[in-house]
Amino acid sequence: MSPEAPNKPSLLLIERCRVVAVMDDAGTELEHADILVEGPAIKAVGKGLREAMQLPADIPTIDGRGHVALPGFVNVHHHFWQCLTRTFPRVQHAELFDWLVQQYKVWESLDTEELKVGARVAMCELLLTGCTTTSDHHYLFPTKQPVELIDGDIAVARELGIRFQPTRGSMTLGERDGGLPPMTLIEDDERVLADYERLIATYHDTSPYAMTRISLAPCAPFNVTARLFQETVEVARRHGVKIHTHLAETDDEDTYCAERFGKRPFDFVADQGWEGSDVWFAHCVKINSAEIERFARGGIGVAHCPSANARLGSGIAPVPEMLRAGVAVGLGVDGSASNDSGDLLGEARLAFLMHRARWGADSITPRDCLWMLTRGGAAVLGNDNIGKLTVGAAADVVLFDVEQFAYAGGPSVDPLAGLIMCGTSHHVAWSIINGKVVVERGRVVGVAERSLVHRANQISTRLAEYGLKQHGLNYRDHVRWPRKA
């Protein structure tokens, strides 16, 4: 790529892509086509743009030959710091509630710098697997740390150039009061409400190509007070921001809500005002058909996280039924301690396979999965300027090299389907966000991968040692090999 000329509107031509998936309402797919980017927006998409638009000879250019180009993917549920406790043996075999109680015991010791390392690792992994817009459900506020933890995530996102919609999470119902988390991770409702106002005033940007938008997200019915659910709706609707929480993830949650509230999880949050097009829920594994109809009617979005649901043994969300009913569904990698990956394209492939295994070969298509990655995610986050490569949309473009072993034999016929059906190599070659190149030839621009990974591993080791020292949790004791005959 040649350097950009100073003091001119920045132009970038992505030329002769094998296929451009526009992801417009008509499902346009253009073969051997170009994408012209001007500043933060898509200026044109079509064949032979260099000649047709008489572009300058020295225009910065990416050679798209052998590559599939799509709008950047949208990740609608995550917990960045969790990549610091991936594969912990103590919780490799645990279901959600046990898994959480054990993880809380080490997460309580994370500090500001360590949380930023987790965020950086998580965002780099997302960038490499096609994500250009991510949310993050940050509900971890150890009582010993300052309140400004999401500020650290935002600083990292800005440095890396990823579009970011953090959600201000919270846990305000601790084990002393019938909730799940230890008191070392419990905030009071007032502190959370004050931080909502601070974050919205400081960071929430409503302009069309905004790189930072804030949403509000009490963690779950089993660790947040009913009052905070109610107050969150009030604050969000006053400011016009979206709201998010975990919902209907496991049988244990159903039981908890039945015993504590005498209700199903959705009825509990709906009674607090959580029913409307500004709401999106993560998981919805244990949702029934009547609730799916209510989601569709009310414009409620869903973050589908198939890896985490499978890994924790929670079940399979009825996503094909949601899609048929017209519910907006996006994909989320969820926290990387319950995945244990942050591979967003991989999440789409797993969704494709999982739903076919459960509901049959015609229940979901590769293009359904690509739609969830892009337009579905954009709808869930309430951002209609991303997830498509139409003129005027945000210039968030990802290119996958399909001329490699993983795809060989597929690209000549249907390279788009190949991303989902063949894909074992999920890394992008190029990623452009808001008109800027953030992944160049498979590398995140400006990031020293090995030293970052080294620091993450140091923190992970410290956390395991902390768990042993403070709580007697010997993680290595829980490694399991097959029983011998």
User: Using CB under 5 A as the criterion, which residues of the chain lie in contact with Zn ion when the complex forms?
Assistant: 334
- Least separation in angstroms between residue 59's CB and Zn ion is 43
Task: Locate 283 and state its tokens.
Answer: 């998981």
Q: At what angle do helices 112-128 and 449-471 cross, to 10 degrees?
A: 130
d(CA 290, CA 279): 18
d(CA 116, CA 387): 27
Is 16 or 77 the residue whose CB approaches Zn ion more closely? Answer: 77
d(CA 124, CA 387): 19
- Least separation in angstroms between residue 329's CB and Zn ion is 16
Is 351 or 399 the residue whose CB approaches Zn ion more closely? Answer: 351
To which H or E segment does residue 229 belong? helix 226-239
d(CA 112, CA 149): 7
Is 278 or 334 the residue whose CB approaches Zn ion more closely? Answer: 334
- Cβ atoms of 13 and 61 within 8 Å: the answer is yes
- Least separation in angstroms between residue 93's CB and Zn ion is 19
- Cβ atoms of 20 and 30 within 8 Å: the answer is yes
Is 339 or 363 the residue whose CB approaches Zn ion more closely? Answer: 339
Is 334 or 401 the residue whose CB approaches Zn ion more closely? Answer: 334
- Least separation in angstroms between residue 79's CB and Zn ion is 6
- Least separation in angstroms between residue 334's CB and Zn ion is 5
| CA distances to 133, 162, 177, 370, 442 from 439, in Å | 14, 10, 46, 20, 6
- Least separation in angstroms between residue 221's CB and Zn ion is 13
Is 291 or 334 the residue whose CB approaches Zn ion more closely? Answer: 334
The percent helix, strand, coil of the chain (3-state, each to 5) is 40, 20, 40
- Least separation in angstroms between residue 283's CB and Zn ion is 7
Is 275 or 334 the residue whose CB approaches Zn ion more closely? Answer: 334
DSSP, res 97: H
Q: Which residues neighbour 251 within 8 Å (Cβ) at sequence distance 6 or greater?
A: 286, 315
- Least separation in angstroms between residue 335's CB and Zn ion is 6
d(CA 286, CA 276): 19
- Least separation in angstroms between residue 219's CB and Zn ion is 8
Closest chain position to Zn ion (CB): 334
Strand partners, 37: 12, 42
Is 14 or 351 the residue whose CB approaches Zn ion more closely? Answer: 351
Q: Which residues neighbour 86 within 8 Å (Cβ) at sequence distance 6 or greater?
A: 336, 337, 339, 340, 460
Which of 482, 378, 468 minimizes the C-alpha distance to 25? 378
Q: Peptide bond before 251: cis, by omega within 30 degrees of 0?
A: no
Is 215 or 434 the residue whose CB approaches Zn ion more closely? Answer: 215
Look-up: residue for tokens 């945000």?
394
